[in-house]
Amino acid sequence: MKNYRGIVSGLASALLVAGYFIVPTLTRAAIAGDSPEVKQLLADARAEAVELKNDSENMESFTKSQLSWGSYAHQVSMIKEHVNKTGTVLTKLQNAKAGASPWQQMAIERIEPLLKELAANTETTINYLKENRDKVHFTEFGDYVKANYELATDLESLIRDFVDYGNAKEKFENLGERLEVTR
């Protein structure tokens, strides 16, 4: 009977020790499961956000010149196009959200309100421009343009930070895997 208890006790200890090493590995595998689709969509969103920021910056620089209404109309049209493309990417991100890792889900959740605000601001700027063709050099229009530029800059920065985080996380995990292989 004592031998049986010793075997069971030894087996229990062995299982406990094995669990100590296996559970963290399984947990890390579950947490590390970044979605490649979401990773690519975030990269796509970043590319659109960069274009959006650049177009918004160009339009903001227009406020320091005496360009015509048509120049503003063309530039705001390009901004609207990039907002719409980014919105399309966001829709794809939302559709892929269920398979995303927690940090990727957080990225999607944080991008959405900022993009919605930027879209609303862009629409307001377009409407102001349509209704006030002769007032493009007034302070009010400049304020709309500046707010759009700041939102576009914030959106680009937010997406860039999430993409950079994903890349750094992936590198770190790859280094950790190499370390485990060499042990």
Q: What is the pLDDT of residues 139-178, one digit of tens each?
A: 888 898 999 999 999 999 999 999 999 999 999 988 877 6
Domain assignment of residue 4, given as a range: 1-31
List the one residue out of 172, 167, 182 whose CA is nearest residue 46: 167
Tokens read off for 86: 């980014």
Handedness of CA 142, 144, 147, 151 (dihedral sign): negative
Residues 43, 99 within the same domain: yes
Angle subtended by helix axes 102-131 and 36-62, to nearest 10: 30
pLDDT tier for residue 3 given thresholds of 50, 70 and 90: low
Query: Do both 75 and 136 map to the same domain?
Result: yes
- Find all residues with CB under 8 Å of 159, minimum gap 6, and list them: 42, 45, 46, 49, 107, 111
Among 96, 123, 114, smallest CA distance to 37 is for: 96
- For 102-130, how does the pLDDT look when each residue is reduced to its tens digit (9 = 90+)? 999 999 999 999 999 999 999 999 998 89
- Please give, one letter per residue, the 3-state secondary structure of 120-171: HHHHHHHHHHHHCHHHCCCHHHHHHHHHHHHHHHHHHHHHHHHHHHHHHHHH
Q: What is the percent of the chain with per-residue pLDDT over 70, rounded to a whole number?
A: 79
Whether 166 and 99 share a structural domain:
yes
* Same domain assignment for residues 9 and 79: no
Domain count, the chain: 2
> Residues 125, 91: one domain?
yes
- Closest by CA position to 55, among listed 33, 25, 85: 85
Handedness of CA 147, 149, 150, 156 (dihedral sign): positive
Identify whether residues 129 and 78 lie together within a single domain: yes
Same domain membership, residue 83 and residue 21: no
Q: Where residue 45 falls among pLDDT bands split at 50, 70, 90?
A: very high
What is the residue whose two structure tokens read 């063709």?
133
Chain length of the chain: 183
Are 130 and 118 found together in one domain?
A: yes
Rounded to whole angstroms, what are the CA distances from 102 to 34, 74, 145?
8, 39, 35
Do 38 and 26 fall within a single domain?
A: no
* Confidence (pLDDT) at 65: 85
User: Do 110 and 122 belong together in one domain?
Assistant: yes
